[in-house]
Amino acid sequence: MFGRFLRRPEEAQAVATIDVRQAWERLSRADSEAVLIDVREPWEYRSGHAPRAVNIPLGQLATRVDEVPRDREVLLICLSGHRSAQAARLLQRLGLSRVVNVKGGITSWRLHGLPVE
């Protein structure tokens, strides 16, 4: 009975998740309108990021939400997938519905040999 009240807020809504290969496939399609947001800190982003990634650190996301397109699929990436999952939940709470977490983050991206800038 009280279980619904005991849940942590971040568990309230499921976050869609894809792996790095699926993310790269979506971003690489000629007709892709997906946008990739890297929620790491600027110094992490500068150390290497996926092509076309836009850097909006997790700590700034709520105040910069107007930079996130509401009419496109938004893929979120970080170092390992934890911050990007938090970012996805935050964007869902702010009314965005087409948000997807990239599991494994840039670490997995590199391990799979995907391009990094």
Q: Tokens representing 15?
A: 């976050």
Q: Is residue 77 assigned to a domain?
A: yes
pLDDT digits (tens, 9 = 90+) for 23-49: 999 999 988 899 999 999 999 999 999
How many CA atoms are closer than 13 Å to the CA of 78, on its beta-carbon side? 19
Q: Is residue 104 assigned to a domain?
A: yes
Alpha helices by DSSP H, listed for the chain, are 3-6, 20-28, 42-46, 82-93, 105-111
Q: Which domain holds residue 89?
A: 3-111
At 57 the pLDDT is 99
Which pTM value belongs to this model? Answer: 0.88
CATH number at residue 55: 3.40.250.10
Mean pLDDT over 65-75 rounds to: 96
Q: What length does the chain have?
A: 117
Q: Lowest mean pLDDT: which of 1-15, 21-35, 97-111?
A: 1-15
Domain count, the chain: 1
User: Which of 50, 78, 99, 102 is an active site residue?
Assistant: 78
Q: Is 81 a catalytic residue?
A: no
CA distance 2 to 29: 46
pLDDT at 108 over 70: yes
Q: Is residue 117 assigned to a domain?
A: no
Mean pLDDT over 76-81 rounds to: 98
